[in-house]
Structure 1
Amino acid sequence: MRKEFFAEYFKDLQDSICKKIEETDGQGRFKEDAWKREGGGGGRSRVLKNGNILEKAGVNFSAVFGPLHPKMVSSLQLKEEVDFFASGVSIVMHPMNPWVPIIHMNVRYFELSNGESWFGGGIDLTPHIVIPEQAKWFHQQLKKVCDKHDKSYYPKFKTWADDYFFNTHREETRGIGGIFFDYVKSKNIEEKMKVFDFVKSVGESFADIYSHLMVENALKPFGKKEKDFQLLRRGRYVEFNLVHDRGTKFGLETNGRTESILMSLPPLASWEYMYDNKSYPEGKQTLDLLKKNIDWINY
């Protein structure tokens, strides 16, 4: 299967997600910034600002290629210099109402000129204020997606997400997790297409899952305490992306497109010195739930 086949799919996925999210928001429209990469390839960065529900949302597509950066050669423990091709869709959405959660999704394909290739991706949710029944619903949707393809996927990829989306310097998870997978390789074309079918299911589940959460929470009333806590939680989100996220760090270290890489950051965030988590009871409950290995399906 030619690598351009996967890129075309991801481009169509970007289109369908943007259309659905615009319909759900009811006001905001994505503006496209088409760009080219000096080393080869390019992409389409789409950002929605100041919508009815979403304050800032990004849906990025890219298909880039060229010589593999020395840092990547080292991290993959390759013994020779190779060319690469990478394509995928990356999404982060920051709502205005603190009761609507932040969401992240990424699906991607990577191929080397030595014949190696793999898929990666996942979806995870970062509520500003955790609503347990919605956390349970979110994980139920992801389990359904996984179980259609392999019943081992959800427990394996759920644990991977818990371990990956973890602010080690605070000993807390970024949110309520989700699924995360990477370096999923295949022995033959038949196996490769089965993995791709799973990746498609993940990507195509995003718009319906998040639209439901947008509609469910967008009209909930909130005040200064909720807004202040939202900004604090956004700050923790920023900390993870800049300190721990491998994709962000690698992109910035290898001269990736800065605007697209930092699209994931919220428009506003805050950091309060020695935050007193007793000052907002709902906030304390949320912070108490930012732990690995919570069985949300049976919560």
Structure 2
Amino acid sequence: MESPIDCTVSPTRTLVENWMRSFQDWLCYRLELADGSGVKFVETTWEHAGGGGGRTRVLQQGAVLEKGGVAFSAVTGEVTAQAAQALLLPDRRYFATGVSVVQHPRSPRVPISHMNVRYFEAGNGEAWFGGGLDLTPIYVDEAQARWFHEQIRAVCQRHDPTYYPRFKQWADEYFYLPHRQETRGVGGIFFDRLTVGRNGSFDELFAFVQDVGEVYGRAYGTIMRQNRDLPYTEREKQWQQVRRSRYAEFNLAIDRGTRFGLETGGRTESILMSLPPQAEWHYNYTVEPGSPEEATQRWLRQGVEWAAVADAAA
């Protein structure tokens, strides 16, 4: 029987933190089932200098997952004035809790995936939610990418019909490598600063964030099972290493969560958990015209309407 998610909603800091802990437990359970090897996530606990801490869980050398991470944190502190300005914080004091997830599969036929959900309170009382999820296939399967977006769109529709088009565009813009002029993958949704009172009630925003976490666990587990036994060649494995390097470039050069963690004195190993176990950089790397690799690169652009088929049928 599946381990349930505690979905109790109440406008308190403690309740959000407790749900984040429960969600980490639930997601690790689902990912272990989908991996199917019997390998478990190994947990490291840590404390934050300003208060609080976290639980970082990593699964390595599974049947499907070469390296998977699911990290929970709930921390308090005070950033420098310079960091507050850079991070657009209305107050230097903060409380932040969330779960951050990155999965790096062994097979180039199973996509890399990312998800995070978070809650933030500034010292002036302002509070907001953020998060997102996206898929980074090594080889884009158009039908699977559309299915993934349809699952996300259905969740967004239950809460606000404007969410999917807004947050999908935000993901296209956010999960983008300007120095490569390509998206990180086929996107998903991204949202930040859904502010309590301004963008909805606490209960409404919290319920949406909970659903985002749950749809990720269910959708990505399905993709893992569908793709885990697909054959692949050494050439395809090398292309995976190149795509992993682009993933690493994004996380190190662009990702706001990485920057926030480093700026606020978070645990370095947990912050950099998102990096792949192996990656390759080749000077002046180009793909062969007409190859499957070139076909995938053509999909790595902003503005692809992945859920358009579902929209037309509705």
Residue number in structure 2 paired with 1:68: 79
2:228 is aligned, of 212, 215, 218, to 218
* Unaligned runs of at least 5 residues, structure 1: none
Residue number in structure 1 paired with 2:5: none
CA 1:281/1:85 → structure 2, altered by over 3 Å: closer, same or farther?
A: same
Residue number in structure 2 paired with 1:139: 149
Mapping 1:242-253, distance limit 5 Å:
242-253=252-263
Residue number in structure 2 paired with 1:3: 13
1:111 partner SS: strand
How many Å separate the matches in 1 of 2:262 and 2:125?
Answer: 27
Mapping 1:1-299, distance limit 5 Å:
1-27=11-37, 28-75=39-86, 82-187=92-197, 191-278=201-288, 281-298=291-308
2:94 is aligned with what amino acid? F
> Does the aligned pair in 1 maintain the 2:72–2:100 contact within 8 Å?
yes
CA 1:188/1:240 → structure 2, altered by over 3 Å: closer, same or farther?
A: closer
> Does the aligned pair in 1 maintain the 2:93–2:123 contact within 8 Å?
yes
CA RMSD of aligned residues (A): 1.7
How many Å separate the matches in 2 of 1:26 and 1:39?
Answer: 39
2:296 is aligned with what amino acid? T
Runs of 4+ in 1 over 4 A off after TM superposition: 76-79
Percent of aligned positions that are identical: 49
Give me the TM-score of the superposition, normalised by structure 2.
0.91
* Unaligned runs of at least 5 residues, structure 2: 1-10, 310-314
> Does the aligned pair in 2 maintain the 1:225–1:280 contact within 8 Å?
no
How many Å separate the matches in 1 of 2:302 and 2:288?
Answer: 22
State the 1:249 CA deviation.
2.4
State the 1:202 CA deviation.
0.2
How many Å separate the matches in 1 of 2:198 and 2:98?
Answer: 21
Give me the TM-score of the superposition, normalised by structure 1.
0.96
CA 1:70/1:22 → structure 2, altered by over 3 Å: closer, same or farther?
A: same
2:180 partner SS: coil
CA 1:274/1:36 → structure 2, altered by over 3 Å: closer, same or farther?
A: same
2:253 is aligned with what amino acid? V
> Does the aligned pair in 2 maintain the 1:32–1:44 contact within 8 Å?
yes
How many Å separate the matches in 2 of 1:189 and 1:242?
Answer: 30
> Does the aligned pair in 1 maintain the 2:49–2:265 contact within 8 Å?
no
State the 1:77 CA deviation.
5.1
1:48 is aligned with what amino acid? L
